[in-house]
């Protein structure tokens, strides 16, 4: 029989992997606050062009969406892709004007099956998401498919050693060594630059990939 502590940790881990319901509302706020710097740094690293076509995949509480909208400007398009219906609903209600103008397009989808056409993006970010994807190679291949050659694809992850010390990550997170993620991106046809962020309490890594 699982203890109350185990059930709480398992619930938290499952909410982080797919925020939903009443708890999901609080998780969205926590994600936006806790991951603000990592998300903003990923947006910077993505070198988003004005007028560009870009995406935040697994946007969670949605902190990356306004940052990307600002960067692409009036003539660009931001795609927000999520597996969580509740995070999509939250983003829909917070961005009615941008959705109405066509600047923001929200869609249900997964890192391993993106609702985007080949080479359609100038840049994509996905931050704190790949822990929830069992098949990283499939996700990297899919990301490299939708970002055009020469574009930027930024994967942000918490430092795996620091993440392993968090009590909830043993409940379903897949924590991969950074060199493994780099090798998987390279195998998917990208050149990769590794940036380190001294975010607290968890340092992050940005893997800035350019499809060839």
Q: Scanning residues 95 to 124, which ones bind ligand SAM (CB under 6 A)?
A: 110-111
Smallest separation (angstroms) from ligand SAM to the CB of 1: 28
Taking the CB of residue 191, how many other CB atoms lie within 10 A of it?
11
Task: Confirm if 204 and 157 have CB atoms less than 8 A apart.
Answer: yes
| Cross-sheet strand order for the sheet of 121-127 | 104-108, 77-82, 53-57, 121-127, 147-158, 204-211, 190-197
**Residue 181 φ then ψ, to 5°:** -65, -40
Q: Is 77 in the site for ligand SAM (CB under 6 A)?
A: no
The span of 57-65, 100-108, 142-150, 194-202 binding ligand SAM (CB under 6 A) equals 57-65
The span of 14-22, 90-98, 167-175, 193-201 binding ligand SAM (CB under 6 A) equals 14-22
Q: Scanning residues 26 to 45, which ones bind ligand SAM (CB under 6 A)?
A: 31, 35, 39
Q: Is 210 in the site for ligand SAM (CB under 6 A)?
A: no
Smallest separation (angstroms) from ligand SAM to the CB of 80: 10
Q: Which two tokens stand for residue 74?
A: 């009036």
Q: Is 17 in the site for ligand SAM (CB under 6 A)?
A: yes
Q: Which is nearer to ligand SAM, 17 or 211 (CB)?
A: 17
The Cα 122–Cα 138 span in angstroms is 20
The Cα 85–Cα 90 span in angstroms is 9
Q: Which is nearer to ligand SAM, 67 or 77 (CB)?
A: 67
Task: Confirm if 182 and 138 have CB atoms less than 8 A apart.
Answer: no
Q: Is 46 in the site for ligand SAM (CB under 6 A)?
A: no
The Cα 33–Cα 93 span in angstroms is 19
Task: Confirm if 125 and 65 have CB atoms less than 8 A apart.
Answer: no
Among the listed residues 41, 129, 199, 210, the single contact to ligand SAM using CB under 6 A? 129
Smallest separation (angstroms) from ligand SAM to the CB of 33: 9
Q: Is 16 in the site for ligand SAM (CB under 6 A)?
A: yes
For 3, 37, 88, 205, the CA distances from 150, given in Å and listed in that order, are 50, 25, 29, 21
Q: Which is nearer to ligand SAM, 180 or 212 (CB)?
A: 180
Contact positions vs ligand SAM (CB under 6 A): 16-19, 31, 35, 39, 57-61, 82-84, 87, 110-111, 127-129, 132-133
């Amino acid at each position: 029989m699982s203890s109350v502590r185990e059930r709480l940790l398992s619930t938290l881990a499952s909410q982080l992997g797919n925020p939903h319901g009443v708890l999901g509302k609080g998780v969205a706020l926590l994600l936006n606050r806790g991951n603000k710097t990592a998300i903003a740094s990923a947006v910077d690293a993505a070198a988003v062009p004005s007028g560009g076509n870009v995406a935040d995949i697994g946007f969670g509480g949605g902190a990356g969406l306004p940052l990307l909208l600002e960067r692409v400007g009036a003539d660009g398009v931001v795609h927000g892709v999520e597996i969580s219906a509740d995070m999509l609903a939250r983003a829909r209600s917070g961005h009615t004007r941008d959705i109405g103008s066509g600047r923001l397009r929200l869609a249900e989808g997964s890192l391993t099956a993106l609702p985007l056409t080949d080479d359609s993006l100038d840049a994509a970010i996905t931050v704190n998401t790949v822990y929830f994807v069992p098949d990283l190679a499939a996700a990297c291949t899919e990301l490299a498919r939708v970002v055009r050659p020469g574009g930027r694809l930024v994967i942000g992850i918490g430092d795996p050693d620091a993440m392993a010390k968090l009590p909830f990550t043993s409940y379903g997170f897949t924590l991969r060594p950074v060199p493994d993620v780099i090798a998987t991106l390279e195998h998917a046809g990208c050149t990769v630059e590794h940036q380190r962020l001294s975010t607290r309490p968890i340092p992050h890594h940005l893997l800035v990939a350019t499809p060839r």
